[in-house]
Structure 1
Amino acid sequence: MLKPGLRATRAIIERPATLSQIAIEPELVELILADMKDEPGSLPLAAYVLRELFEQSKQTGTLTRAAYLSMNGIKGAISAQADKQFVLLSPEAKATLPFVFRRLVTLNERNEPIARHGVPTTAFGTNAAAQQLLEGLDRAHLLVYSRDGSNQPVVELAHEAILSSWDELQPWLKSDGEFLRWKTDFDADVRAWVTHNRDRSYHYTGLRLAVAERWFKDYAADFDSPDAKTFMARSRQQRQLIRLLWRFVYTATLLIVSALSFQTLYQRSLIVDAAGEVVTFPASTARLGAEEQPIQLNAFGIERFEVTNRQYNICVEAGICLPPLYPSTTMAEEKADDLPVSWVTLSQAIQYCNWIGRRIPTADEWERAARGTDARLFPWGGEEPGEDHRINWTLSDFPELFAFHAVPANDPDYTSGATPDGIFHMLGNVQEWTNTPSDCELGCQREWDGTSPVLFVGQGWANGMWISGATLSPLAQRTPAEPNLALLDLGFRCAE
């Protein structure tokens, strides 16, 4: 709808009041005109606001600026119109709100939600419930339909203010914000790939491909673009080709073993045997520390289990790592191999992780893996530890769970104490080294210099008592230590 000229718009506001012999404050006219200027397509919403003002003026006989401001003006009308139509929809249609708005919304360079322009109507598929929601938004004058340069029907939000003013959208923007940020970057990468003639150098590999596959699994319906599907298929094909190439090289190496070092091949097989399973995380903003400060983190991966005696001893037998200061003697010999390795310094931990091609995590990475992005009090959530959330840690309120020694890193009896991502013993069992200097604040990117004090994190089985009703997550606690420290309940896990 084309907006009439300023003079005509002023007449639309003032003339009904004049005909009805109702006074209108001049300041109100100017305020409405200013708000309409900032909201394209706002004439129907202005009409809605004026109808409400006329109803209120029956007692006072005047259309006032104060009454208009009490309705939150044009933006308030946007939210009111949306609520009026949304309440009439079926539960199925209401449930498609995230599905629909993930197509209508993107993020700007400041990670703020903005309207996506020219969204093809085919992006919503044949979902009848989604179509019902779109029709409701259209009746509320919140959508603008048009045609693109190819004469194909497209749609977009008529009023970007709805993203900040409509309460129904706020939980979705909070829960899906991380995906929207990643999807905005992904769409840009796909466009760059298409622009550069689908050059394979733009394909995703390694951790970026693993993160993309995770989002594709969780939000499968949001990847309906043929280019996006082809981009992912080509990236997977390239990964498979690389794997086949490595297998070929490995086989060829065995056939010409006289020209290669047997020790190198032996080391490679040991590394494969020693390396633990990794859980990956996309780039995200997480609330960390006691004050729950928002910190931006890059994508990373961290091992699901603590490094065990068996894994560490492989490195020792390979002639790379030094043995722990003391052997593990806290359990029966047949179970000792699966216990988390302890009595190792930070340098020893780094030596092991570097040997398998990984590194020690930062304190921020470790805490994000333990607490998620929403500052969980405990690895599994907000419920206190106990029979439903078992951890290997001394609990004053649960004497039956008193920790006498470390337990195997992958002990299935402690599954209930793992994070939602399946990472074990982020609370209890052993404390863990990080490579974050002790004088580093939250968000600090500086790595350990090799000599200065560093931080270790978590709570070990032998080092503390937990009091029921605690308001501070033990996962937010970071302990400074000399890097040559070695303790009975201090171990590590690797990251990448």
Structure 2
Amino acid sequence: MTGVPRWTGREIRALRTALRMNGRSFADAVGVSHRMLVRWEAGGEAVVPRAGNQAALDTMLATAGRAVQERFAALNTAAAAAAEDARAEQLLRRETQYTKSPVDGKLMVPVEEGIYLAGPAGTPTWTAAYLIDVYPTTNADYERFIRATGHPAPRHWPNGRCPADIFDHPVVWVTWSDAAAYAQWAGKTLPTSQQWEKAARGPKGNPYPWGDAPTAAKCNVHDSGIGRTTPVSRYQSGVSPYGAYDMCGNVWEWTATEPEPGRHELKGSAFTSPFTRAAPALFNDAADRMSDNDTGFRCASPA
């Protein structure tokens, strides 16, 4: 379990909830008065306890056990993902600009023709106009595909059926060929690495979909401590300038770009990745036949 860089009232409330302790018992365990705990939790992110209390909270989390740590991670990142974010709210109000793909029914967002700043060096790069899926391909999306085509199901589905609790999670255990087959069925393609990166960073080449700040709480990466995929619509505060979700974290995504024969680029990082690997500009690739529990895809099409 990755530690907490700085405890605030928000993380303290999440830990108490994960431990399933009442306020007085939790305050006793930390070594503070119940009144102090109430003040911490009411203050939220504006309250930062002193160093001794921070150390006590570190110890409580470290010794709490795996189940508590998982609950804490889920509560803490969910709160960050759902927090009010004026920029995200503005983007979400652009619903009328979205279109629905006629075959798989997925929402797609338009990306205009023009130059964007690509790669770590911010190289001016031109792309034609295109559409890209708002969300990664989910297990529910993929199940419709295999029912329509007879394509083999991912290896982690019991008896070839998607478990109900991961319908809205990104599909994983898919090779590049699996992803390309889905895209062909849906009348779309896999995005090139340039298309994917522009949709993630915007025309100004933001380091992250949400802007400049390296904020791990806005995506599902290893630092979040969740240890598995999450629903594709969860991280509203991490949405890209074009309105695309999960462009950092959750799962790596296959692209159409082939740096050498038999290999294709992957973009975006995953729940298994350290946040240092999450920037959309970074390079990664894999053999086409590779499949694992942290790799999926989304589709694109001409505008």
TM-score computed with the length of structure 1 as normaliser: 0.38
Q: Which residue of 1 aligns with 2:263?
A: 453
Q: Does 1:392 align with 2:220?
A: yes
Once the two structures are superposed, what CA deviation does each residue of 1:252-292 show, in whole Å capped at 9, x if it has no partner? xxxxxxxxxxxxxxxxxxx8463310001111101111111
Could you list the runs of 5+ residues in structure 2 that have no partner in the other structure?
A: 1-95
Q: Which residue of 2 aligns with 1:438?
A: 259
- Aligned equivalents of 2:103, 2:111: Cα separation in 1: 24
* Deviation (angstroms), 1:473: 6.9
Please say if residues 434 and 456 of structure 1, whose CA atoms lie closer than 8 Å, have aligned partners that are also in contact: yes
- Aligned equivalents of 1:360, 1:288: Cα separation in 2: 19
- Aligned equivalents of 2:124, 2:278: Cα separation in 1: 16
- Aligned equivalents of 2:113, 2:247: Cα separation in 1: 20
- Aligned equivalents of 1:386, 1:317: Cα separation in 2: 37
AA at the equivalent of 1:405: R
- Aligned equivalents of 1:420, 1:295: Cα separation in 2: 17
Identity of aligned residues (%): 28
Residue 344 of structure 1, aligned match among 169, 174, 192: 174
Q: Structure 1's 273 and 362: CA in aligned 2 closer, same or farther, altered over 3 A?
A: closer
Could you list the runs of 5+ residues in structure 1 that have no partner in the other structure?
A: 1-212, 215-270, 396-400, 440-450
AA at the equivalent of 2:149: G
Once the two structures are superposed, what CA deviation does each residue of 1:309-332 show, in whole Å capped at 9, x if it has no partner? 11101111112532123328xxx9
AA at the equivalent of 2:271: W
Q: Which residue of 2 aligns with 1:254?
A: none
Q: Which residue of 2 aligns with 1:466?
A: 275
- Aligned equivalents of 1:297, 1:482: Cα separation in 2: 26
Q: Which residue of 1 aligns with 2:185?
A: 355
* Deviation (angstroms), 1:408: 1.1
Compare relative contact order (CA 8 Å, sep 6+) and give the higher one, 1 or 2. Answer: 2
**Larger radius of gyration between Structure 1 and Structure 2:** 1
Q: Does 1:479 align with 2:302?
A: no
Please say if residues 287 and 295 of structure 1, whose CA atoms lie closer than 8 Å, have aligned partners that are also in contact: yes
Q: Structure 1's 273 and 295: CA in aligned 2 closer, same or farther, altered over 3 A?
A: closer
Q: Which residue of 2 aligns with 1:298?
A: 128
AA at the equivalent of 2:275: W
- Aligned equivalents of 1:437, 1:312: Cα separation in 2: 23
- Aligned equivalents of 1:289, 1:466: Cα separation in 2: 17
Q: Structure 1's 376 and 473: CA in aligned 2 closer, same or farther, altered over 3 A?
A: farther
Once the two structures are superposed, what CA deviation does each residue of 1:363-393 show, in whole Å capped at 9, x if it has no partner? 0000000011111111110012155xx2111
Query: Which secondary structure state, in structure 2, belongs to the residue aligned with residue 478 of structure 1?
Result: coil
AA at the equivalent of 1:429: N
AA at the equivalent of 1:483: D
TM-score computed with the length of structure 2 as normaliser: 0.62
Which has a greater percent of helix?
Answer: 1
Q: Which residue of 1 aligns with 2:35?
A: none
- Aligned equivalents of 1:403, 1:362: Cα separation in 2: 29
Please say if residues 279 and 302 of structure 1, whose CA atoms lie closer than 8 Å, have aligned partners that are also in contact: yes
Query: Which secondary structure state, in structure 2, belongs to the residue aligned with residue 274 of structure 1?
Result: coil
Question: How many pairs does the alignment contain?
Answer: 201
* Deviation (angstroms), 1:334: 3.1
Q: Structure 1's 272 and 290: CA in aligned 2 closer, same or farther, altered over 3 A?
A: same
AA at the equivalent of 1:465: P
- Aligned equivalents of 2:229, 2:278: Cα separation in 1: 22
Please say if residues 438 and 481 of structure 1, whose CA atoms lie closer than 8 Å, have aligned partners that are also in contact: no
* Matched ranges for 1:205-224 at <5 A: none
RMSD: 2.4
Q: Structure 1's 275 and 353: CA in aligned 2 closer, same or farther, altered over 3 A?
A: farther
Query: Which secondary structure state, in structure 2, belongs to the residue aligned with residue 437 of structure 1?
Result: coil
Q: Structure 1's 336 and 456: CA in aligned 2 closer, same or farther, altered over 3 A?
A: same
Q: Structure 1's 320 and 288: CA in aligned 2 closer, same or farther, altered over 3 A?
A: farther
Query: Which secondary structure state, in structure 2, belongs to the residue aligned with residue 318 of structure 1?
Result: helix
Please say if residues 359 and 495 of structure 1, whose CA atoms lie closer than 8 Å, have aligned partners that are also in contact: yes
